[in-house]
Chain A
Amino acid sequence: MLKVEHVTKYYGTILAVDDLSFEVKKGEIFGLLGVNGAGKTTTFRMITGLLDKNSGTITLNGKPIDYSVTDKIGFLTEERSLLTKLTVKEQAIYYGVLKGMQEQDILEKLDVLLKRFHIEEYKERKIKELSKGNQQKIQFITSIINDPDLLILDEPFSGLDPINVALFMDVIKELKEKGTSIIFSTHRMEHVEMFCEKLVVLVRGKSVLSGNLKQIKKDYRKKNIHIEAEHMDLEKLKEVKGVLEVIKTETEVVVKIASEENVNDVFNYVKKCEGVTKFVVEDASLNEIFLEKVGVMYENEM
């Protein structure tokens, strides 16, 4: 289990991470969200021991993070951290041995993973000869080749097409099932919603939102109602109590309401309209929650 407690980091006089605390349990997927410069990469660097913190503690399975525990950490950096002149096999051996593995075990594991990612033919190819997407696969493979207890993924889906994003997600879920604690960052909120259980949203190094994703969404009062109807006066709909915004798309109308209590008011109006085929109440998306929380923080600081 990864435990981050009251961690603070300054770059000179600039506060990069401000009293950050969270924990990632065994077999849990944790999202670290925030805009560029929010402090995500700094947090990852402190977890991997690359940066010293000014205060606070970080432990993995109860031990402070040092070179005695880093063998059990997998780290995928935001940028491609591959030695491009090496072949895929050489690269896997290079990082594998640095993780304390034996060469034979690395090669056996590499064959399995290359097959899993459908790139077994690239084993002897140089990294620089591979496409951006395949390089990302190799980077991912080298970060999980040691069966880590903790896997840190900084923007793991960048440069990937939707099919490969799905493939990565499947592998990440498999690792979760095996008990790996996973912490990852992304700008894509839909990815977080798809498989994240807990999250922290950082704004300028400070946590502005944290906890269980389901609970966060539940606690967030605003809801969205998706309506399909033949005839509906949108101007009148906007006047209904609690309606914040009405958005018309090609196929439906999305009504944003202030709280769950306003659902009935909207329903009472809609049932009077002709040809209603859909009335679905949904929680607000994480993207909306993120935009509001981060937006408010930004506005306050401006």
Chain B
Amino acid sequence: MKTKCKFLIKQSLKKKINTKWFKIANLLVLIFLIGIVNIDRIIRFFGGDFNEVTKIYVIDEANAYSLFESNFNSLKESLEDLGNYEIVSTTKRAEELKGEIENTKDFVLQILPSPTEYLTAQVISYDAISMITEQLLQTSLNTIKSHYVLETTGIKEEEIAALTSNVSIHKEITNPEGQTSENQELISMGLILIFIVPFFLLITMLTQMIGAEINDEKSTRSMEIIISNVSPQAHFASKIIASTSFVLIQALILVVDVAVALLVRLAFTKSIGLSGETSAQVLKLVQGIQSSGVLSLLLRGLPIMLLLFLFSFVLYAILAGVLASMTTNIEDYQQLQTPLMVLLAVGYYIAVISSTFDGALFIKILSYFPMLSFLIAPVLYLLGQTTILELFISTLICGGFTFFVFHYGLRIYKVGILNYSSRDLWKKIFKSMKEK
């Protein structure tokens, strides 16, 4: 029976993977991902107004031109995706330049000394300048202001740094399990992206796979030949293992696809050039995770989390298999699995909002609910809202419930897979649950 079960797993996987559609779909996904990761390059390749060089005519009345030019250029180089600029020093008056910048994106920057603010600036443009350009100007001018003050007032650099820096708040948390991050929401979103979204997608894929395959075998009546040679237990197990393996392989392919897409970008740009804003956010997220202690929580809780994910995969696979066995065609199955998908969406939504409702009792209770726990419990644990023990309890409950569902689900499955009529379906199901 073991050999037959292995064969069924192999066949089931082969049927899913060894098809031209699987290859085409994954090739398209790869192309799509390469496109997404390199979208800015693609946009630039096709050209547009953004290719034009914007001239910045600088009227320097504060004797700060050279400082501004070097600062702006170095900023522009590090943020190369943000646009093309050319800085032009001019002795012309602003009124004269207004004619030159008419109907162009060029603009005039007047740097002025100020008795109260040390330094001010005025921008004259034909149309409003973009937000990014304004931010670039602001950052450059803020930087040169410090230098300008140093040069003009004699205040020491350390004094300026001390004055302008944020007040540091030292935090001491006495609960070793309950360390929270100062960027809790940001971390929560990051964790959701890393853990929850892929598993949410994989489980959706898993339930579809099992449903389609069982319905195919039922509708062609090949189920009768299969079950006359292999026990329903072995058949059921083969479906669960094959579908779970398939989605894991698919997930691995997606990871490889992302890596290829990043390598393609690297090959063209010699750096994985995330835009300035994105890289700053990523950096902030990584720093946030490190400083919050989430990383150590993750490492400590990872084995339990993986077990919880595994139990949940099996649980959803069992439920999908049971539902598929009860139906006679894929349309009926899709109708029947809708509540399951809604439940999954509820779990996802609660996981997303859990950082907003710190310590919410209702969410904590839901984190023990087997079909939702794999979405909520890890997030609560990593946010420091629950302990590792609570995560373990959620996993135990999920494991126990999975065993319970397998035990009773198999009884329904045995009856369902050879049932071709929807007449008295629920009666048959309840009756089958009582039979050993």
Contacts and interface: CB of A to CB of B under 8 A. Distances in A.
A77 interface: yes
B324 to A, nearest CB: 16
B230 A95 contact: no
Interface string A210-228: 0000000000000000000
Contact of A80 (B216, B217, B220): B220
B228 A79 contact: no
Contacts of A104: none
Interface string B385-424: 0000000000000000000000000000000001000001
A67 B231 contact: yes
A82 interface: yes
B230 A67 contact: yes
B229 A50 contact: no
Contacts of A48: 224, 228
Contacts of A142: 225
B225 A73 contact: no
Contacts of B50: none
Interface residues of A, number: 26
A249 interface: no
A75 B223 CA distance: 12
A83 B226 CA distance: 11
A98 interface: yes
Interface string A48-60: 1111000000000
A97 B217 CA distance: 17
Contacts of B220: 80-84
A70 B7 contact: no
A71 B4 CA distance: 11
Contacts of B229: 67, 70-71, 95, 98-99
A263 to B, nearest CB: 49
B225 A70 contact: no
Interface residues of B, number: 23
A135 B216 CA distance: 17
A129 to B, nearest CB: 15
B1 A98 contact: no
A83 B218 CA distance: 10
Interface of B is mostly: helix
B284 interface: no
Of listed A50, A84, A100, A142, residue having the most chain B CB within 10 A? A50
Nearest to B8: A98
Contacts, number: 60
B228 A49 contact: yes
Interface in B215-239: 216-217, 220-231
Contact of A67 (B1, B7, B222): B1
Contacts of A73: 228
B11 interface: yes
Of listed B216, B217, B222, residue having the most chain A CB within 10 A? B222
Nearest to B7: A97
Interface in A95-123: 95, 97-100
B98 interface: no
A154 to B, nearest CB: 10
A191 B4 CA distance: 36
A192 to B, nearest CB: 24
Given A67-B231, A71-B229, A85-B15, A50 B224 contact: yes
Contacts of B224: 45, 48, 50, 75, 77, 81
Given A85-B15, A98-B7, A79 B221 contact: yes
A99 B4 CA distance: 9
A118 B221 CA distance: 26
A48 B8 CA distance: 20
A82 B230 contact: no
A50 B232 CA distance: 10
Contacts of A94: 11
Contacts of B418: 45, 50-51
Nearest to A94: B11
Contact of B228 (A75, A97, A100): A75
Contact of B225 (A67, A81, A85): A81
B337 to A, nearest CB: 22
A75 B227 CA distance: 11
B20 to A, nearest CB: 12
Contacts of B424: 12
A98 B226 contact: yes
A22 to B, nearest CB: 20
Of listed B8, B217, B229, residue having the most chain A CB within 10 A? B229
A11 B215 CA distance: 23
Contacts of A80: 220-221
A132 B231 CA distance: 30
- Chain A to chain B: the 9 pairs with minimum beta-carbon distance, closest first: A81-B221, A98-B229, A48-B228, A81-B222, A79-B221, A97-B7, A81-B225, A83-B222, A77-B224
Interface of B: 1, 3-4, 7-8, 11, 15, 216-217, 220-231, 418, 424
Interface of A: 12, 45, 48-51, 67, 70-71, 73, 75, 77, 79-85, 94-95, 97-100, 142
7 contacts: A50-B418, A67-B230, A70-B229, A77-B221, A97-B7, A98-B229, A100-B3
